[in-house]
Each structure stands twice: as structure tokens, then as C-alpha cells.
């Protein structure tokens, strides 16, 4: 089965079109104001209308309240919620009840012990996304998209019932190695296909997709 790719933080029509044309399975849109990738709801709605039905439209939120999620869903047909904050299993269940949507929960990884949190979430989420945990002394760190990677060997030869996606500092230069080492068959990229935070590069999107296809 070909690997699935999520291009996250899509910012304009050309980037959406490039991701779809290159074969991305998931298109990610950020609804978190401190992020340079954040989109006004009206702008995101225009972009998501360009995403075909066979590509999942995923909304990224960080500790959202019900009001924000409802405002987004009033204008946008998302397929999946991606939760990138400190949402606990009970909060995830509440959001699933409110929205009727499946959830990708992000777990931030720096060491093997960080994977212990997975057990608590397995019964309430449809997928996990493993991203790098930013160091405590990192200035201006975001919940994700910091161009940081972690030791992919932490995921090697693991057997979980819940599907998962590898993220964290992936680029066209390292994604093939990351997939081989970790065993990932789904990957997520944001900073690795940008000229600067929040500005996607169409050529880098295509190169990333080509690198994944080579595995």
C-alpha cells in the first residue's frame, strides 16, 4: 500500500493544488491564532473548497473551546479534527460528541516514556500523530511545526492497534530514512515544505511527495 502524506498548514490556492496534484491523502489547515500558519475561517473555507472528496480535509486545533470549533464547522466541512494541545481523553470524547468527527491526537515525543500516554488515548482516537517535543528552553516554540525531529528508532517495531502518522522535522531529504527507520506508512509535513513559517513552497511539496514515493 502506498504511503499516505499529510501536507499541513496549507496557506494558499497554489499550495493546495500542488498537494492534491502530487497525491497527498490529507490536507491540513491550522486554526490556532499564535501560529504563523493560522488561517481566518473565511480564507480556510475558500481553500478547502478546492480539496476533492478523496483527500481528507483536517482542521488543526490547540486546546480549542466549543465556540471556536463550532464557528469553524459552521462554515467549513472538515473530515477530521487534529488536536495538538493538552486535550485529555474526556475532552476528546466531548469534542467527538459535539462535532461527530473522528480525531487525530498529537503526542509529542522526546524519549520512550512519552509513548506511555498512548495507552490512555487509544480508546477515544482514530489516529495518532507523533511529533517532536520542543525543548523547554526553546524560545517561541509552537505546539508543532518547529522543524524539530526526534529519534525515529523509538517507534521501530512497535505494534499498536491505532494507526499513526510520523511528523517532526521531515523534509524531502530525510523522509525516506525516517520511514524506513520508524516503519511509518503515513507522514506529515509542514515546515519542511516552506520557504519560511507559514509560506508553502510548491516545488518543495512536489519534491517531498516524490521522496515518499521512492520508499
- Which residues carry out catalysis? 8, 131
Distance between CA atoms of residues 110 and 65, nearest Å = 28
Q: Which three cell numbers stand for residue 118?
A: 498512548
Distance between CA atoms of residues 14 and 29, nearest Å = 14
Q: Are strands 194-196 and 199-200 parallel, antiparallel or unpaired?
A: antiparallel
Looking at residue 38, what DSSP letter applies? Answer: B
Dihedral (CA of 171, 43, 80, 52) sign: negative
Q: Which of 17, 2, 1, 4 is nearest to 205 (CA)?
A: 17
User: Dihedrals φ, ψ of 207, to 5°?
Assistant: -65, -40
Distance between CA atoms of residues 144 and 84, nearest Å = 7
Amino acid at each position: 500500500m502506498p504511503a499516505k502524506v499529510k501536507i499541513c498548514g496549507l496557506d494558499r490556492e497554489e499550495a493546495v493544488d500542488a498537494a492534491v496534484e502530487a497525491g497527498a491523502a490529507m490536507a491540513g489547515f491550522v486554526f490556532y491564532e499564535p501560529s504563523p500558519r493560522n488561517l481566518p475561517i473565511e480564507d480556510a473555507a475558500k481553500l478547502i473548497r478546492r480539496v476533492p472528496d478523496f483527500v481528507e480535509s483536517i482542521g488543526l486545533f490547540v486546546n480549542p473551546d466549543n465556540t471556536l470549533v463550532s464557528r469553524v464547522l459552521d462554515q467549513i466541512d472538515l473530515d477530521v479534527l487534529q488536536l495538538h494541545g493538552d486535550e485529555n481523553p474526556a475532552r476528546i470524547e466531548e469534542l467527538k460528541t459535539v462535532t461527530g468527527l473522528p480525531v487525530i491526537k498529537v503526542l509529542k515525543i522526546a524519549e520512550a516514556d512519552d509513548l506511555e500516554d498512548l495507552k490512555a488515548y487509544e480508546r477515544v482516537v482514530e489516529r495518532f500523530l507523533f511529533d517532536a517535543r520542543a525543548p523547554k528552553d526553546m524560545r517561541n516554540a509552537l505546539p508543532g511545526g518547529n522543524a524539530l525531529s526526534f529519534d525515529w528508532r523509538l517507534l521501530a517495531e512497535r505494534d499498536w492497534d491505532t494507526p499513526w502518522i510520523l511528523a517532526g522535522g521531515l523534509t524531502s531529504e530525510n523522509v525516506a530514512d525516517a520511514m524506513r527507520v520508524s516503519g511509518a506508512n503515513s507522514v506529515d509535513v509542514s515546515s519542511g515544505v516552506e520557504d519560511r513559517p507559514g509560506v508553502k513552497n510548491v516545488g518543495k511539496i512536489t519534491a517531498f511527495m516524490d521522496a515518499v514515493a521512492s520508499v
